[in-house]
Chains A and B, each alone.
Chain A
Amino acid sequence: MKTYVFCIGGTGARVMKALAMLLTTGVKIEVDEIVPIFIDPDAAAADLTRTISFLRDYQYINEQLHFTSDMKNNFFKTQISELIPGYRLELSNTQNNKFQQYMDFASLDIANQALAYMLFSAKNLGSDMDVGFKGNPNIGSVVLNQFAQSEAFFDFANSFRPGDRIFIVSSIFGGTGASGFPLLLKNLRGIDMNFPNAGNIKDAAIGAITVLPYFNLAQSTDGKNDIDSSTFISKAKAALEYYDKNISGNNSLNAFYYIADDIYDTYAYSVGGPTQANKAHIIELLAALAIVDFCKMDNDILQSSKGKALRPIYKEFGAEADDEEMIFSSFYGITRKEIQRPMTEFTLFCKFLNEHLSSSQSQKWTKGKRPFDDNFFNGIFFSSHLRAVKENYLQWLKEMASNRRRFSPFHLEEMKKDVFGFVKGVKPGKVINYRSNYDLFDYYLCDIEPKISNNLSTEARFIELLYQTVNKLVEDKKLA
């Protein structure tokens, strides 16, 4: 079973990145395959390119691991597929075009030009399409209406199978997400029956999360803001009113998630493109958990008929503590259970690679029947893809820890004398073993290595060994 995740705009890309991070850590998701599809006219947006780059590393590692019954490993377990080359649904005629050229304004008759002037300001009409809709959903609603005609949409329809699900991620306070979400939903529920699998798509289980404002934008250096964050709330209200009638009101979604926060950080102003690299935020992580939650739901709950959800569900997220700095204990048990253990395991894995691997490479665990030698450590799997994933993951954690509200569950700095004290709010348990810190880690590695199947590839053996080791350490030290 697959879940297609349509990620609209910058928020969509960041939520997908958070989901990929969670899948990297082994958060359990009741689906065999995730198929991300990005909808963003701003192909150069750093949020999008960073996410795509991470997905490619993830995909490479996932393919190398060839998950078999011999493996207990949960890292990188869920398959992420690239249905559309580059994961991105191309929007035609948006490159090097102004909005008025896109809508062929010059060829409109006087009456229609007058109508266009009522709907779009002169600034709107002169907007460059390369960098998205700059917080203008009225532009987005025109441009994004084309994706049902694209070849990529046809490919999506063609690959869709009964039982597959669809999830849409968007923000409500910008341009691309706010306009793209209802349009996409309309195109899915009212799909042209000439498309392959149209019936299955029309009555598919469709979920969505709409992210309400969770950050502000600073003034641009020239003082001319195309995107004004003071309008985020009013735009969100207007969009919610629209959703109330046209999405919730007509039961278009089987599950609709809302997420919001009242503590904001102010990001540096960026109109889009390579400078749009917002710091990761806990809201994006929690939005990604909505996808995990949606995938867990029973098919019985997500029934649709004639393009309408029979039992629509609406959900919000709540936390146990309203702390400015969130740690695992700030969440309710269900959320903690979902993420604490996998994130703790993978963070320990990353810290080991960063802080101790070079010292540990002379240990017995590298010299078994299938050794981990220099060829492995200098190979593309380890030195390129795994290293990139590790760096991105740690960077993602650092960004969340420096944002507002902060999510800072780990001490990421090196603590060689208290290696297992890295989970904030958790006192490591005692184990009956006189070795401690990374010596204990090495001891577990040496102990577990001979039990790892030699039938696995070297890459799979390495990840399996490290997974089983951190899994046992987290269990024995009661870190989650």
Chain B
Amino acid sequence: MGTFFELFLGNWYCWFKSFYSDYLSQYLWGYNPVSGAYDLELRYNTIGLYTLGISLLMVILYYYVIDHPRFCKWWSWLIVALVNSAIALFVGYYCVQSDYDAGKIPDELLYSRDENGEIIQYLISIPGECWSFGISNMFMAFLFFIILSFLLHWWSRVAKYSPFIKF
């Protein structure tokens, strides 16, 4: 396991871990069943940074590009936040699904096999858990959007008080 900052996003994702299995979580933490160590890519960070980046773009879009007098009410902010979450849902789904398709998820985390190598149990259900992770990524994106809105709304010309002062 890495430093506090390396683990920061993963720890946040774990708040919403109940949507998917421990096996998928293990993969996302970078667990390597062969070595028994966390030496694979820390996917939480990669996907988290994608989501953070998209949320940042959406916040900038809302506060500085759209910045429209008719689109500065709390509900307009909420619409953009929900759109951001919806994008995150698909990003989460796509990342796990593409990792699976590319064979990046270790077999040991995907299946339980008998002595003959026959699959006796699917440890990670695909594509169900891709969507489940997408849902947790959706919550993360909403969280990012709130935090970034707090940080970046000050310099908006029109939407400065959206959604923090009730209109």
Q: Which residues of A contact B (CB under 8 A)?
A: 360, 362-364, 367, 435, 438-439, 442-443, 446-447
Contacts and interface: CB of A to CB of B under 8 A. Distances in A.
A363 B69 contact: yes
A377 to B, nearest CB: 15
B161 A447 contact: no
**Candidate in B68, B69, B70, B158 with the most chain A CB atoms within 10 angstroms:** B69
User: Which 10 residue pairs are nearest across A and B when measured between Cβ atoms?
Assistant: A442-B69, A446-B158, A362-B167, A447-B157, A439-B69, A446-B157, A364-B160, A364-B161, A364-B158, A363-B69
B72 interface: yes
Contacts of A447: 157-158
Nearest to B69: A442
Contacts of A362: 73, 167
B165 interface: yes
Name A's interface SS.
helix
B167 A442 contact: no
Interface in B62-100: 67-70, 72-73
Interface residues of B, number: 13
Contacts of A446: 69, 157-158, 160
B165 A435 contact: no
A367 B165 contact: yes
A442 B161 contact: no
22 contacts: A362-B73, A362-B167, A363-B72, A363-B158, A364-B157, A364-B160, A367-B161, A367-B165, A435-B68, A438-B69, A439-B69, A439-B70, A442-B69, A442-B158, A443-B67, A443-B68, A443-B157, A443-B158, A446-B157, A446-B158, A446-B160, A447-B158
Given A438-B69, A439-B68, A443-B158, 10 more contacts: A364-B158, A364-B161, A367-B165, A435-B68, A443-B67, A443-B68, A443-B157, A446-B69, A446-B157, A447-B158
B138 interface: no
Interface centre among A435, A438, A442, A446 (most CB of B within 10 A): A446
Contacts of A367: 161, 165
B68 A364 contact: no
Contacts of A435: 68-69
Contacts of A363: 69, 72, 158
A438 B68 CA distance: 11
Interface of B: 67-70, 72-73, 157-161, 165, 167
Contacts of A439: 68-70
A440 to B, nearest CB: 8
A477 to B, nearest CB: 17
Contacts of B167: 362
B67 to A, nearest CB: 8
A86 B139 CA distance: 70
A374 to B, nearest CB: 14
A362 B161 CA distance: 10
Given A442-B158, A446-B158, A447-B157, A364 B70 contact: no
A363 B68 CA distance: 10
A444 to B, nearest CB: 9
Contacts of B68: 435, 439, 443
A442 B161 CA distance: 14
Contacts of A442: 69, 158
B91 to A, nearest CB: 28
A435 B71 CA distance: 11
Contacts of B70: 439
Contacts of B69: 360, 363, 435, 438-439, 442-443, 446
A443 B21 CA distance: 49
Contacts of B72: 363-364
A254 B159 CA distance: 58
A435 B159 CA distance: 14
A367 B162 CA distance: 12
Nearest to B70: A439
Contacts of B158: 363-364, 442-443, 446-447
B54 to A, nearest CB: 23
A446 B161 CA distance: 11
Nearest to B66: A434
A359 to B, nearest CB: 9
A360 B68 CA distance: 12
B124 to A, nearest CB: 46
A433 to B, nearest CB: 10
A3 to B, nearest CB: 42
Contacts of B157: 364, 443, 446-447
A435 B72 CA distance: 13
A104 to B, nearest CB: 71
Most chain A beta carbons < 10 A, residue from B157, B165, B167: B157
Contacts of B165: 367
Contact of B159 (A360, A364, A438): A364
Nearest to A435: B68
A295 B95 CA distance: 77
B161 to A, nearest CB: 6
A149 to B, nearest CB: 62
A438 B159 CA distance: 16
A22 to B, nearest CB: 32
B14 to A, nearest CB: 38
A362 B163 CA distance: 12
